[in-house]
Amino acid sequence: MTETPAPYHVTPRADYHAEYAPAAPPALLPRAPLRLSCVVPAHNEESNLEAFVRALAQAVARITPDYEIIIVNDGSRDATHDIALRLAQELPLRYLALSRNFGKEAALSAGIAHARGNAVLLIDADFQHPLELLAQMHELWLAGYDMVYGVIADRGAESGTKRLGTGLFYRLLNAGKKVKVPPHAGDFRWMDRRVADALNALPERNRFMKGLYAWVGFKSAALPFVPHDRAGGESSFSLRSLGSLALLGLTSFTTLPLRVWSVVGALVAALALVYGAWIAVDALLFGVDVAGWPTLAAGIMLFSGVQLMSIGILGEYIGRIYDEVKQRPTYLVARDEDRSPWRDA
């Protein structure tokens, strides 16, 4: 039996975002009556989806009676499809089934593109994002904030390897950038219609959503939270998939790796010149002998490795360019079951 989590008592940090993006003009007040679109990406969530969507509907109904829930099935291979179709018969719900697994970034993009409310909530289907924070997100939106996002306050439950990798990723991603991505801020967020429209207008196919949220700007506030344990099932994110996402983020939002290898190349060239000068002077003063072949072989192997690694990093950027110029869609919708109250709007 699942215990009801203890109520959240957190202090909104409206100044948190100011460290990472310039302040935006105040929102136009007062707000129009809330029409909320809730985007729920789902990949193999049969053990959580029904209970979560019903709990989400109850939580949102306490805030506004005018809402829709958009479930985006990202190529699930379990009963997620059947559960979502059944829920669509009972709740104000729109169900989008993607033609295959395109990844969470694409599923979020699909949900935002199909949202019709004047505010959009992004939330996972595994109960890790606390529903108790929705009321505070709503209050901050009413107060004029265009984006309210959750920031993980404690990663103590994660492995040391993941914490170390996450910290290193954000340091690399934000090094020297004018607009920085808030560390530990995920996809759990409430966005005004203007933010959703700005995200929909961005043309890139390789979509690193955490970076795009920061890039579009707007007046934002952060809510620290501690994720709940998953109610059931296992996370579809492995270390490998997280590594791929990190690589996407680095190559999409920073040229730091290219700059680092430019510096490495300059240092290696400088050392080679110094070493060449030393060899020339040694040969002139003491003659030429056959000593130094091990050093020569080791040097060739070292520099070959450096060159291949730098070519590999350059290839990652070229690969992103190749994906962009093909202009393939970010996702394909195989089925659209629209039972939203706004379907005829």
Note the pLDDT of residue 185: 79
Note the pLDDT of residue 125: 87
Greater confidence, 75 or 266? 75
Confidence of residue 9 (pLDDT cuts 50, 70, 90): very low
Residues 222-231 have a mean pLDDT of: 77
Percent of the chain with pLDDT over 90: 24
Q: Give domain limits for the chain.
A: 16-236+329-338, 256-326
Residues 43-55 have a mean pLDDT of: 89
Helix pair 209-216, 193-201: axis angle to 10 deg: 120
Note the pLDDT of residue 2: 35
The overall average pLDDT reported for the chain is 76
> Is residue 327's pLDDT more than 70?
yes
Note the pLDDT of residue 126: 85
Least-confidence region, from 8-17, 206-215, 280-289? 8-17
Q: CA Rg, the chain, in Å?
A: 25
Q: Considering the domain 16-236+329-338 in this protein, what is its CATH number?
A: 3.90.550.10
CA dihedral 191, 196, 202, 204 (to 10 degrees): 70
Locate tokens 């296992």: which residue? 234
* CA atoms 52, 58, 63, 69: torsion sign: positive
Greater confidence, 258 or 116? 116
> Is residue 136's pLDDT more than 80?
yes
Residues 44-66 have a mean pLDDT of: 91
Least-confidence region, from 168-177, 198-207, 263-272? 168-177
Phi-psi region of 286 (alpha: psi -120 to 50; beta: other; left: phi over 0): alpha
CA dihedral 117, 123, 129, 135 (to 10 degrees): 0
DSSP alpha helix (H) spans, the chain: 49-61, 80-88, 104-114, 134-142, 160-174, 193-201, 209-216, 239-253, 256-286, 293-326
Token digits for 112?
A: 């935002």
Note the pLDDT of residue 6: 41
Least-confidence region, from 28-42, 225-239, 258-272? 225-239
- Tens of pLDDT, residue by residue over 64-103, are 999 999 999 988 888 899 999 999 898 999 999 999 988 8
- Tens of pLDDT, residue by residue over 143-191, are 888 889 888 876 665 556 666 666 666 666 666 566 677 777 788 999 9
Confidence of residue 5 (pLDDT cuts 50, 70, 90): very low
- Tens of pLDDT, residue by residue over 301-316, are 667 667 777 777 777 7
**DSSP β-ladder status, 67-73 and 36-42:** parallel
User: Is the pTM for the entire model greater than 0.75?
Assistant: no
